[in-house]
Amino acid sequence: MRRFSSLINRRNLVPLPTTATAQQSRNKSAVSTTKAASVVEAITSRRSIRKFLPDPVSVQLVGRILKEASRAPSGGNLQPWQVYVLSGSTKDRLISAVASQMEAGRNGENKGPPYLIYPPELTEPFRTRRRVLGADLYHLIGIPKSDQPAKLRQLAKNYTFFGAPVGLIIVIDKQMNEPQWSDVGMFLQNVMLLARQYGLHTCAQEAWANYHKTIHRICNVPENLTVFCGMAIGYVDPDAIINQLDTERVRVKDFVTFCDVSENSEEMTLLSKL
Ligand SMILES: Cc1cc2nc3c(=O)[nH]c(=O)nc-3n(C[C@H](O)[C@H](O)[C@H](O)COP(=O)(O)O)c2cc1C
């Protein structure tokens, strides 16, 4: 971990643990199993869940969440989001089609994702943030850094929607640009927060973009649409250690510039503590 912290730009310094024990306690916290009663609670109790209970979620409830989420704002009210809900045999067929391509040791017909999931030369501090996430996650579930096969087995669980009873595939018309992709992000955040209000949890999954052609084929997604991501929706397995992952956020002062607050003011001292 020390190696990671030394890579962090001073301005973006986040407290990192120096021992495995400190790391484990910093990154672990109990997951909420109750319904969020406020927006703040929905935001703070949301986290990416990577092991769900098999308990069913009705498509009626999913439909309701999607309707409410569609109140998201969008530039020009384009509402550029489109969603495929997988809750039965289509989900099973997609999972098994992807599994057989993975077994063959390549991503088969897909030839990589339809867009660059990350910039190829990710710079600091983003590179470190991404590496810390991976290191924390694998450490929490006891996978050593060098155990590549175990890491791949964990990664492959993405392609089961982490056991969730419902999977969403989110697609966007190919003519859309950055502003519309950001609109879709706002819609997805609504879905994730509404899920918390109904006692559900989620995990957004770009991993599905790696199998976009398989998704087109199995879910009959027209060619004018691009697969952005998937999303698992279901009830959290509260006993799964992986669901205890509590990810870091940088301090407010490290991503906000308060243009009209002077550097040495009392106000800035208070803001810098956020
Ligand atoms: C658009 C998007 C795609 C993501 N894709 C994946 C994914 O494919 N697999 C995964 O395990 N987590 C995925 N995540 C979850 C992120 O890793 C997670 O949001 C981040 O580490 C912060 O943790 P938190 O969601 O628990 O707060 C994705 C998140 C977003 C917003």
- Confirm or reject: Cβ of 48 under 6 Å from ligand 1: yes
Q: Quick one: average pLDDT of 186-196?
A: 98
Residue 122 has pLDDT above 60, yes or no: yes
Each residue of 164-175: pLDDT tens digit?
999 999 999 999
Q: What is the pLDDT of residue 37?
A: 87
**What are 5-34's pLDDT values in tens digits?**
333 333 323 233 333 444 555 688 999 999
pTM, rounded to two decimals: 0.90
Beta-bridge partners for 86? 167
The CATH superfamily of 2-244 is NADH Oxidase (3.40.109.10)
61-119 pLDDT, tens digit each: 999 999 999 999 999 999 999 999 999 999 999 999 999 998 887 677 888 899 999 99
Q: Which atom of ligand 1 is nearest to the CA of 228?
A: 1
Q: Which residue has the tokens 């969020």?
A: 36
Cα 207 from Cα 229, distance rounded (Å):
7
**Cβ count near 110 (within 10 Å):** 19
158 close to ligand 1 (CB < 6 Angstrom): yes
**Is 91 near ligand 1, meaning CB less than 6 Å away?**
no
**Residue ranges of domains in the chain:** 2-244
By alpha-carbon position, which residue is closest to atom 2 of ligand 1?
204
pLDDT of residue 104: 82
The span from the CA of 235 to the CA of 161, in Å, is 12
What percent of the chain is predicted at pLDDT more than 90? 84
Structure confidence at residue 24 (pLDDT): 53
The answer to whether residue 55 scores a pLDDT higher than 80 is yes
Quick check: helix, strand or coil at residue 127? helix
Query: Does 97 sit in the ligand 1 pocket, CB within 6 Å?
Result: no
Q: Would the CB of 101 count as within 6 Å of ligand 1? A: no
Q: If DSSP codes are grouped into helix, strand and coil, which group holds residue 170?
A: strand
Determine the distance separating the centroid of ligand 1 and the alpha carbon of 56, expressed in angstroms.
Answer: 23
Q: Which residue has the tokens 């969008």?
A: 74
Compute the radius of gyration of the chain from its Cα atoms: 20
Mean pLDDT of 146-155: 96
Residue type, 108: G
